[in-house]
Amino acid sequence: MPAEMSPPKIGKNIASLRKKRNMSLDALSELSGVSKSMLFQIEQDKANPSLATVWKIARGLNVDFRGILSGEAEEGGHFDIVRKPDASVLLSDDGKCRLRVVTNVHLLDSVVGYYLEMKPRGALISKPHFPGSEEILFVLKGSVTVKSGQNEAELHRGDSIRYASDLEHSVENRTNSEAEAYLIVHNKNWEQALKKQMPWPWQ
């Protein structure tokens, strides 16, 4: 039987990152919006923080979520590469639309980019996403029809559109030729989603 994995030492990692920055609890509390007493309890492993709280602390420390989990901060900012063979690929229900993820996706990301390939008569139909979410689509090849709620528009190569995705929405290739586009999904209210006290994966 494989050994049971232990959760990362969140409190210890936060304390280590804070001390590396010569930052007091008062300073981190001011930058993160998390009370000093809560920070102290978290660092002492006497409190189990929610994702929302950890996200606020990460912002206060100016590190990404992985830094909190590992206790190590990336120097010089993000420099994430997604090689084509390693990219995740999703297929639409009709099998005619292929979405390749073109951004490194992390647990707390509010923006995800996709390269969309559509066969003739392919349709990508989506239910409403989280309130406040939106999508931006740029057509690279062919023509597509975008619907969001009661709005509908046909777009051609070089056209772009920004539309609400917290409504029923779709991207369709109604032609007999292939179509390609870049699709960016943006959740403007991701912080509110975190405040729903999402559980940790190991709980």
Neighbours of 88 (CB within 10 A): 11
Q: Which two tokens stand for residue 134?
A: 């939106």
**What integer pLDDT is reported at residue 132 of this predicted model?**
85
**What integer pLDDT is reported at residue 190 of this predicted model?**
59
**What integer pLDDT is reported at residue 170 of this predicted model?**
96
Q: Which two tokens stand for residue 70?
A: 């590992």
Q: Which helix (H) or strand (E) segment is 42 a member of?
A: helix 36-43
Residues of the chain with pLDDT under 70: 1-8, 71-79, 104-109, 188-203
Question: What's the number of CA atoms in the CB half-sphere (13 Å) around residue 68?
Answer: 24
Fold classified for 10-78: 434 Repressor (Amino-terminal Domain) (1.10.260)
**What integer pLDDT is reported at residue 88 of this predicted model?**
87
CA distances from 28 to 9, 10, 17, 195 (A): 18, 15, 11, 20
Domain ranges of the chain: 10-78, 84-190
**What integer pLDDT is reported at residue 201 of this predicted model?**
36
Which phi and psi angles does 172 have, rounded to 5°?
A: -125, 145
**What integer pLDDT is reported at residue 2 of this predicted model?**
44
Residue 127 Ramachandran class (φ > 0 left, ψ -120 to 50 alpha, else beta): beta
Beta strands in 52-198 (DSSP E): 89-91, 97-101, 111-118, 123-126, 133-141, 143-148, 151-156, 160-164, 169-172, 179-187
How big, in percent rounded to 5, are the helix, strand and coil portions of the chain? 25, 30, 45
**What integer pLDDT is reported at residue 77 of this predicted model?**
59
Question: Is the fold of 10-78 the same as that of 84-190?
Answer: no
**What integer pLDDT is reported at residue 162 of this predicted model?**
96
**What integer pLDDT is reported at residue 203 of this predicted model?**
31
**Residues sharing a CB contact under 8 Å with residue 72, sequence separation 6 or more, in sequence order:** none
The CA distance from 99 to 181, in Å, is 10
Query: In 128-198, which ranges are continuous DSSP H helix?
Result: 190-194
Question: What's the number of CA atoms in the CB half-sphere (13 Å) around residue 11?
Answer: 12
**What integer pLDDT is reported at residue 62 of this predicted model?**
81
Fold classified for 84-190: Jelly Rolls (2.60.120)
**Residues sharing a CB contact under 8 Å with residue 184, sequence separation 6 or more, in sequence order:** 111, 112, 113, 114, 135, 136, 137
**What integer pLDDT is reported at residue 45 of this predicted model?**
87
